[in-house]
């Protein structure tokens, strides 16, 4: 099976209501008087990081990719469970994990450590506490809403390519936890942009049953000469959200478009309809 | 690093109080007036399952190994998050996952699906709700307590070796969820026997700072002629627990020994002191 086929098969299994139909970034679990936000993201050598990557950076990104999902729900981190496959430079992995957990105020809750042959796979489960309810989803964008992005895209791409000024954007990205918490009570939809702006905007449009009409010139990008790459590359971890047009903006963000009723395509970039998700972004297998 | 070194390094990181010092089977997280029990276990091809294993059995065992940790805390399952690496026979994996989730009344909460080269690694995060507090740990065994085991060990070994009568014990083991819930309010210590009776009893003795004196002839084993193997092989998922000697037994179990103040070794098998954990069981790397 490929990924869409496997996820479709998972959707046919008994799902917890908190799973949101496996159509969101996190599970949202009401428990006692609290609401927990729970996510699990994996990284595999060769797919998500190179065999010669600094394992400290890999650990940091494993934490960020999970906490960014919590940020998109306005959740504050409670802790993480690590699923670790032993291998090269485990001391560097520990160092980067320590730095990330300290930077984001997130303690370790537990996990599992194994030995295995071949390419390494790492997993992290992040548990957060919702700071407001209802917890935002991808699926609430309304016609007339404005579309916003918390910061420029394409920085991770430039960092990956070796531009020193953007090195941290690729190697040490920061989840937008504070922004997510500030925005959550007001947004109609929110998600993080981990797989590229166009692809993630397409997903928000699909989940919401609307069209996101983006204005190219309004999208903040790290290199305007390469806007087409910047809006397709992933790993930037900015937040994409929609807000009623009259609402005050509770965090710094750039207005990049407008939500309309479903047009000829889920996504419009200027006048160009975009229908094929395969052309939109950077997809891990 | 090897596994003990890596875990020692993790213990030096900021730990959540719920992590119980990474010395227990699960995190125990008080939240919203409830207590959640959270665990994450991984399985890797070549280490935890063979490259030609029926992936339906692998999925079932992935669920069981995690729910068995919940059972050892007396928790009832809330749901699981799956970390899946795509590969051979994913349809069989889905089938086994469906059967296990149905058998144990546990819905899917979420997770992640990736593609990666090489041997596959699978992870599961199980979340349960404590049915009593305080939640049992490995570390509460008291001198004078009786030591119990919920059922025979060695069945999974025989199943692995091809004995048809014990096939299910290896391929479709069942977590002792009902027993764990019945026992949790009364035990002084409890854990599941996933890595072999002797090794896990050694760990309980170490965590409790006591000696577990086991009587060979009292230990229920699947094949008495091979008791030495039966008490070292893992994957049986019975519960090992201690109870004050005067307490009524709230679930069917076999008394296999007595807790004493720390003797010359953490573990006594009859008159034989056992000090070296490397000799005691079946250790995954």
DSSP state of A264: S
pLDDT at residue A67 in the model: 98
DSSP state of A164: G
Q: Which among B18, B40, B121 is the nearest to A85, CB-wise?
A: B121
Candidate CATH numbers 1.20.1440.230, 1.20.1440.130, 3.30.460.80, 3.30.1330.10; the one for domain B3-130? 3.30.1330.10
- Average pLDDT over chain B reads 95
Q: Which residues of A touch B107 (CB under 8 A)?
A: 13-16, 19
Burial state string for B250-276 with b = 16 or more CB within 10 A and e = fewer than 16: ebebeebbbbbeeeebbbbbeeeebee
Does A123 have pLDDT greater than 50?
yes
Determine whether the interchain pair A6/B113 forms a contact, defined as Cβ–Cβ distance below 8 Å.
Answer: yes
Q: Which residues of A touch B117 (CB under 8 A)?
A: 44, 46-47, 118-119
Burial label, B163 (beta-carbon count in 10 A; 0-12, 13-18, 19+): middle
In this prediction, residue A282 has a pLDDT band, given cuts at 50, 70 and 90, of low
pLDDT at residue A32 in the model: 86
Residue B124, φ and ψ in degrees, nearest 5: -140, 135
Question: What ipTM was estimated for this complex?
Answer: 0.94
Which residues 113-142 of A are in CB contact (within 8 Å) with B?
113-121, 123, 125, 127, 129
Determine whether the interchain pair A90/B127 forms a contact, defined as Cβ–Cβ distance below 8 Å.
Answer: no
Q: Which residues of B touch A284 (CB under 8 A)?
A: 114-115
Q: Which fold has domain B146-279?
A: Phosphoribosyl-aminoimidazole Synthetase; Chain A, domain 2 (3.90.650)
Segments of chain A assigned to CATH 3.30.1330.10: 3-130
Determine whether the interchain pair A119/B116 forms a contact, defined as Cβ–Cβ distance below 8 Å.
Answer: yes
Model pLDDT for residues A202-256, shown as the tens digit of each residue = 999 999 999 999 999 999 999 999 999 999 999 999 999 999 999 899 999 999 9
Q: How many Cβ contacts (< 8 angstroms) between chains A and B?
A: 259
Q: What is the pLDDT along chain B (285 residues), one digit of tens a residue?
A: 999 999 999 999 999 999 999 999 899 999 989 999 999 999 999 999 999 999 999 999 999 999 999 999 999 999 999 999 999 999 999 999 999 999 999 999 999 999 988 889 999 999 999 999 999 999 999 999 999 999 999 999 999 999 999 999 999 999 999 999 999 999 999 999 999 999 999 999 999 999 999 999 999 999 999 999 999 999 999 999 999 999 899 999 999 999 999 989 999 999 999 998 888 876 443
CA–CA min distance A222, chain B (Å): 28
Task: Record the pTM.
Answer: 0.95
pLDDT at residue A77 in the model: 98
């Amino acid at each position: 099976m490929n990924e869409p086929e496997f996820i479709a098969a998972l959707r046919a299994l008994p799902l917890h209501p908190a799973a949101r139909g496996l159509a969101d970034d996190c599970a949202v679990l009401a428990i006692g008087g609290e609401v927990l936000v729970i996510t699990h993201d994996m990284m595999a050598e060769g797919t998500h990081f190179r065999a010669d990557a600094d394992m400290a950076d890999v650990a940091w990104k494993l934490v960020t990719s999970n906490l960014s999902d919590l940020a998109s729900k306005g959740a504050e981190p409670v802790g993480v469970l690590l699923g670790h496959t032993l291998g090269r430079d485990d001391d560097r992995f520990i160092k980067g994990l320590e730095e990330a957990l300290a930077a984001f105020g997130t303690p370790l809750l537990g996990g599992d450590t194994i030995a295995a042959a071949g390419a390494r796979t790492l997993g992290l489960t992040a548990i957060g506490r919702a700071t407001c309810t209802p917890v935002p989803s991808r699926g609430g964008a309304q016609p007339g809403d404005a579309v916003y992005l918390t910061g420029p895209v394409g920085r991770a791409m430039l960092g990956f390519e070796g531009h020193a000024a953007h090195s941290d954007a690729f190697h040490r990205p920061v989840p937008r936890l504070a922004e997510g918490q500030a925005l959550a009570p007001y947004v109609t939809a929110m998600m993080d942009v981990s797989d590229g702006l166009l692809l993630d905007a397409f997903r928000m449009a699909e989940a919401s049953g609307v069209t996101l009409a983006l204005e190219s010139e309004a999208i903040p990008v790290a290199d305007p000469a390469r806007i087409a790459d910047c809006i397709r590359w992933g790993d930037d971890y900015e937040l994409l959200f929609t807000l009623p047009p009259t609402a005050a903006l509770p965090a710094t963000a750039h207005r990049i478009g407008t939500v309309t009723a479903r047009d000829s395509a889920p996504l419009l970039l200027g006048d160009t309809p975009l229908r094929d998700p395969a052309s939109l972004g950077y997809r891990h297998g």
